[in-house]
Chain A
Amino acid sequence: MADGDSRGWIPPAAENLTDDLLVEILSRVPYKSLCRSKRVCTRWRRVISDPDHRRLLPRYHLHDAVVGFFDHRSFISFSGRGRFVGPSLPFLPDCGDLRLLDICNGLLLCRRRRLSDPRRFDYLAANPATEQWIVLPESGWTHKEQIARLGFDPAVSSSHFHVFEFELVEHSAMGMSGDHDGNVVAVEIYSSETGVWIHRNNGWGCIIRTLDIWRSVFFKGMLHLITMDDVVAVVDVEGNSWRTIPMPETFVDPYYGVDDGFIDVSQDCLCFVNTDRDDLYKLSVWVLEDYSSDQWTLKHTVSHLHLFGTDKQHFGYDYKVVSIHPKRNIIFLVSLNDGIFISYEMDSREVHYICELGDILTRHYLPYVPLYSESLANKFILDIAYSLMRKPMADAASKEARREGIPPPDDNLTDDLLVEVLSRVPYKTLCRLKCVCWRWRRVISHPDSDHRLPRYHLHGAIAGFFDHYDGRFADVSTAAGAGAGGRPLFLDPSLHFLPRCRALDLLDSCNGLLLCRCWRISDYRRRFDYLVVNHATRQWVVLPESARSDKRQIAYLGFDPAVSSSHFHVFELVEKNPANADGEADDGELDATINALEIYSSETGVWSHMDIGWGHQIGVLDDWRSVFFNGMLHLITMGYVVAVVDVEGNSWRTIPMPQTLDDPDCNVDDGFVDLSQGRLYFVNTDRYDLYNSLSVWVLQDYRSDQWTLKHTVSHLHLFGRRRKDFGHDY
């Protein structure tokens, strides 16, 4: 751009835009457009996918980001739109009681009670985005809960953080479950770099009182605390620099126990939010433009009437400020009366509804934006396991790789081969190998590799339990978590990234998609919606009503990523005799003769009704197995046939089951059907040897009805004893 007038030689204009500028631009487009923009060219794709940019791109904007809820009865939960941190932070090790204390730039600080000695606790720093965590050494106060805050700035160091623990003079002896409210006598500061706590006496030169639910912010290497003493108390990570910044003059009404204000960092300035002193029903935002001064500049004022539609709102009591957008003039608020999460754009003065919070309303909200920086994760692992902290990452990692017998990165090794190799290493090793080189990391992280790599191998796969005890509770737990390196995967019983609902039944899972029945909050146990979920990407979609939303039916999912990665079908079997019309009575297994099918296609978005075309009655149980194959749903039925129907409801077929013995006395299953190596498999007890062996048949030619016996194994071999009934004992 040396010469503005002769543009002929200038390369195509958009190429002039630097990556940073491109990120700035892309941060302003809606999420869907952003996804499409990946397909513009390799450079755009790289820029969008770069972990460093995620924080700025809309997918990770606070609009979609997670809100953390802090409940004083030691329960943590996160909501938002389909985000992933669960109530128990499922990737953490077992512990009795976990409390979230602070969140700072994607890193969480928790207090964990020891299982061995519940009176003592440890601090734990965790990054939910990378599922990494570290336990801090004892601070000397392991028996007494103090106010603790986290200081972490990935811009300064992506692998090190500080923890501030404030030693208080207690007003009363209780103080265990209530708010902490006391004079700060001293501060213990932990540095993850040195690995030790240092002790500093209060250097502010005045009495500083604070509450543990009050907001603090880490900025310029200093922790900034809202206090009861009309100042923002500031201390650095060394405990050498102490400062108090007088708060802008605001109105504080002690009667309501309102907050003493809210503090955050936006556009590289400290921002302070509180009720306007001159007008109780207005919210004002001040900015400390010159960080070294004590001069706050009034930036914006907005009336409660404009924000909430009513004047009578008290800051900190009726509503809370949750966050200020780091780059824009946007405030995020929770209206505690309405139970909603809203955003307010100062420039346009627009109020936007974000989501409903349901009945989880607490006083403490911590905003959370995921941090995808792998360097932190890698550092964690290396710190803990190998103490290779001082060595260059790649060097350490490839050394590690050699030790595990994996060939060093080799250009001759194709990605496919590399995946093959990597699929043979244990899960923990695989995690470490991510830091070998960029290519390995890409290969390991790549979604296509997921199902071939150990993390997603059956060792670490997810098993769903359908609990018939109360009939409406689905539990999904990890099977053989030990096989995956002792770290349970992230799916917890409530599929926590889903929106809130009364109860969730897991109905079917098909090639990585889950079909759930989600009981509506508004209309408990009467009506429900079907929900299709991909827990790996945390995406979910609610299906339109099937006309049967008041009655539980057997439903199956048909999804084949090889045919279409974005479309699926849901088959709902319509019972012939709705004997259990009363919603309370049908808690047991659904056992029905079906006379019609409702088939939902996600492509057309509609349900279509089909009368059954199998020519005779088909009875099924809802805990019986089905499999989706060749675009057809295959059902085990009571009529000794495998019933088959296609997604259009046009093609109907029954395949007689291989001859097996079905013993009604034992209430055994009618067999098991699945797909392996491109063929339909059927498993059941051998007809001739009821209690002693299990047989596997395979349908070699899909068009024929001829099952070929592939394998027989004795129960003795499988279980060490003979007397086992299929479907009953195993």
Chain B
Amino acid sequence: MATGSGAAAAAADAEEKESGSRMITLTSNEGKAFVVTEASARQSATIRSMVDDGGCVDKGFPLPNVDSKTLARVIQYCDEHGNKEAHTVDERAALAKFDKDFIAELDADKAFLYDVTMAANYLHIQGLFALTTQCIADTIKGKTPEEIRTAFGIEYDLTAQDEEEIKEEDTHA
């Protein structure tokens, strides 16, 4: 991408390289500290804006809404996407493969998948958020309401009247 956008992008690239060498500390709600590269941390728009605002880079960032297990997994994604180049076809393919494996592993543990989704939302990590929400959406695709309830551990609380109403609203339901 950098090839086409001229001097501005090159400058931004240089800045990114420079800042990419800095290390940033993220702290989970259990107080566990994770040290990551700034390039990795910048995957999160929340952290990116805090860094750019000249916030507490040295003291680290407490993340009261994210537990250690979730944060570790989120960092795994950020490292891959933040530290690797994605300019050539091969590099992009490698990242796509990483995403695929990453999400396949998460999909096996739904509760954890939701945690990662919420963390991605909280931290504004767009790529990860799209990945996880799409994965959950795929779970819904083509399923009957009963199957969806099972898949999501939802209690059935609709009355017969509700069902009738929904049928009226939509013939696809």
B133 touches A1 (CB 8 A): no
Supposing A2-B29, A35-B172, A36-B143 touch, asked if A44 and B68 sit within 8 A by C-beta, the answer is: no
A4 touches B152 (CB 8 A): no
Chain A residues near B5 (CB, 8 Å)? Answer: 297-298
Q: How far is the CB of B91 from chain A (nearest CB, A)?
A: 15
With beta carbons under 8 angstroms apart, the residue of A14, A16, A36 that contacts B145 is A36
B141 touches A301 (CB 8 A): no
Q: How far is the CB of B128 from chain A (nearest CB, A)?
A: 12
A17 touches B162 (CB 8 A): no
Q: How far is the CB of B65 from chain A (nearest CB, A)?
A: 8
Contact flags A10-47 to B (C-beta < 8 A → 1, else 0)? 10111111101100111111111101111111111100
A12 touches B154 (CB 8 A): yes
B67: Cβ under 8 A from any A Cβ: yes
Chain B residues near A35 (CB, 8 Å)? Answer: 170, 172-173
Chain A: which residue is nearest B136 at the CB level? A25
A21 touches B67 (CB 8 A): no
B153 touches A29 (CB 8 A): no
Chain B residues near A3 (CB, 8 Å)? Answer: 30, 67
A566 touches B4 (CB 8 A): no
A159: Cβ under 8 A from any B Cβ: no
A28 touches B153 (CB 8 A): no
Chain B: which residue is nearest A11 at the CB level? B153
Contact flags B55-81 to A (C-beta < 8 A → 1, else 0)? 000000000000111100000000000
Per the bound structure, the CA–CA distance linking A564 and B54 in Å amounts to 64
With beta carbons under 8 angstroms apart, the residue of B140, B142, B152 that contacts A13 is B152
A7: Cβ under 8 A from any B Cβ: yes
A40 touches B162 (CB 8 A): no
Chain B: which residue is nearest A329 at the CB level? B130
Chain B residues near A278 (CB, 8 Å)? Answer: 4
Chain B residues near A13 (CB, 8 Å)? Answer: 110-111, 114, 152-153
B137 touches A29 (CB 8 A): yes
Q: How far is the CB of B4 from chain A (nearest CB, A)?
A: 5
Residue count of chain B within 8 Å CB distance of chain A: 52
Supposing A40-B154, A41-B154, A41-B155 touch, asked if A29 and B118 sit within 8 A by C-beta, the answer is: no
Chain A residues near B9 (CB, 8 Å)? Answer: 297-298
Supposing A13-B152, A41-B157, A45-B158 touch, asked if A28 and B134 sit within 8 A by C-beta, the answer is: yes
Supposing A24-B129, A446-B165, A565-B168 touch, asked if A44 and B154 sit within 8 A by C-beta, the answer is: yes
With beta carbons under 8 angstroms apart, the residue of A32, A37, A41 that contacts B158 is A41
Chain A residues near B133 (CB, 8 Å)? Answer: 21, 24-25, 28
Chain A residues near B170 (CB, 8 Å)? Answer: 35, 38
Q: Which B131-173 residues have a C-beta within 8 angstroms of A?
A: 133-134, 136-138, 140-145, 148-149, 152-158, 162-163, 165-173
Chain A residues near B8 (CB, 8 Å)? Answer: 295, 297
B107: Cβ under 8 A from any A Cβ: no
A45 touches B140 (CB 8 A): no
A96: Cβ under 8 A from any B Cβ: no
Chain B: which residue is nearest A17 at the CB level? B114
Per the bound structure, the CA–CA distance linking A41 and B166 in Å amounts to 11
Q: Which A274-306 residues have a C-beta within 8 angstroms of B?
A: 276, 278, 284, 295, 297-299, 301
Chain B residues near A30 (CB, 8 Å)? Answer: 141
Most A CB contacts (10 A, CB to CB) among B68, B70, B171 go to B171
B158 touches A39 (CB 8 A): yes
Chain B residues near A603 (CB, 8 Å)? Answer: none
Q: Which B17-69 residues have a C-beta within 8 angstroms of A?
A: 29-30, 67-69
B108: Cβ under 8 A from any A Cβ: no
Supposing A4-B70, A33-B140 touch, asked if A14 and B158 sit within 8 A by C-beta, the answer is: no
Per the bound structure, the CA–CA distance linking A224 and B8 in Å amounts to 23
Q: How far is the CB of B160 from chain A (nearest CB, A)?
A: 12
Chain A residues near B158 (CB, 8 Å)? Answer: 39, 41-42, 45
Chain A: which residue is nearest B152 at the CB level? A14
Chain B residues near A29 (CB, 8 Å)? Answer: 137-138, 140-141
Q: How far is the CB of A543 from chain B (nearest CB, A)?
A: 16
Chain A: which residue is nearest B132 at the CB level? A25
A37 touches B148 (CB 8 A): yes
Per the bound structure, the CA–CA distance linking A31 and B173 in Å amounts to 10
Known: A33-B143, A42-B162, A45-B158. 12 other contacts (CB 8 A): A1-B70, A1-B115, A2-B67, A4-B30, A17-B117, A31-B172, A36-B172, A37-B145, A38-B145, A40-B148, A42-B157, A45-B162
**Can you list 16 A-B contacts (CB < 8 A)?**
A2-B29, A2-B67, A10-B111, A16-B114, A24-B133, A25-B136, A26-B140, A28-B137, A28-B138, A36-B173, A37-B140, A40-B152, A40-B154, A41-B157, A447-B168, A448-B165
